[in-house]
Amino acid sequence: MSCLCYCICRHPGPETGTLLGVGNQPVYRLTHRRLSAAVSRLEVADLAPDLPRLRAYARVVCALHCQGPVIPLRYGAVVSQESRLLALLDEQILQYEALLRELEGCVEMGLRVLLPQTPLSPGTAGGREELPGSSAPPGRPGLTYLTARKAHYARQDRWTEEHRRAADRCQAQFTGLFVKCKTEALSPRLPLLSLYFLVPRAMLTPFRQAFRRLSATESARLLLSGPWPPYNFVSGGLSLGEF
């Protein structure tokens, strides 16, 4: 039977106790040297990511993260045999230990930034860009196409610059209150920006206070969420996907 992997932690480290994971399966630890992984038994047919399964998975990761640093894995990290996971712990032990030291005592806080809407640029209708050449004068379709593409990329550049400025303003407000920050814009055409902060637990109260000050002065709409396990700070080339 396959194993579903929730997170990697130190050994000795967080206790699974009576935790139940996906499919109400007991969560237990696989231990190798100074590391352990929290896993539960799983029939692959029961892996489809519906809401109850995702919530059960998140509860396990959150419960262990409350006890100490963990490297949370994305839902769907499955091994067909326990020995394969033990081999991974052995291969990656130095990288995992370094990451656990970095995540020690930290949580993730998320900030969504909805930038103010601006008037539609020429060449758009109802928020949709007109097709190049749709209003071309007779005999000049090429010129109209190039003009439309130039306007299109100018709008993308404008939003990219707005994203950068908003991210800089937000990061400046939280100076000294976070270890790392990651920025993500869903699209250069959308006025939505996501920032993820790795925050020491001791800084949570001043971090929230800084958010309230930012909300009072920032023209963009802001939404703060967390604290969460540090899902957005566990990449960097580590083998955290399917095993």
List pLDDT tens digits, range 81-112. Answer: 899 999 999 999 999 999 999 999 999 999 99
Q: Say whether both 89 and 165 belong to one domain.
A: no
Q: Say whether both 120 and 61 belong to one domain.
A: no
pTM: 0.76
Q: What is the CA radius of gyration of the chain?
A: 23
Q: What is the spatial distance between Cα 205 and Cα 212, in angstroms, rounded to a whole number?
A: 11
Q: Say whether both 27 and 99 belong to one domain.
A: yes
Q: What is the spatial distance between Cα 167 and Cα 148, in angstroms, rounded to a whole number?
A: 29
Over residues 147-166, mean pLDDT? 61
Quote the number of domains for the chain.
2
Tell me the pLDDT tens digit for each residue of 17-65: 899 999 899 999 999 999 999 999 987 667 888 999 999 999 999 999 9
Task: Tell me the two tokens of residue 103.
Answer: 């995540």
Average pLDDT value for the chain: 82
Q: Say whether both 78 and 120 belong to one domain.
A: no
Task: Judge whether 236 lies within some domain.
Answer: no
Q: What residue type is assigned to position 177 of the chain?
A: L
How long is the chain? Answer: 243
pLDDT at 232: 93
Strand partners, 111: 195, 224
Q: Say whether both 62 and 174 belong to one domain.
A: no
Q: Say whether both 34 and 12 belong to one domain.
A: yes
* CA 117 to the chain's CA centroid: 25
Q: What residue type is assigned to position 226 of the chain?
A: G
HSE on the CB side for 62, CA within 13 Å?
10
Q: What residue type is assigned to position 131 of the chain?
A: L
Q: Is the per-residue pLDDT at 16 higher than 70?
A: yes
Cβ 92 vs Cβ 100: under 8 Å = no
Tell me the pLDDT tens digit for each residue of 228-241: 999 999 864 444 44
CATH code at position 112: 3.30.70
Residue ranges making up the domain that contains 113 = 107-124+141-231
Q: Say whether both 190 and 213 belong to one domain.
A: yes
Biggest distance spanned by C-alpha atoms of the chain: 76
Q: What is the spatial distance between Cα 75 and Cα 54, in angstroms, rounded to a whole number?
A: 7
Of the residues 104, 133, 168, which one is the last residue of a structural domain?
104
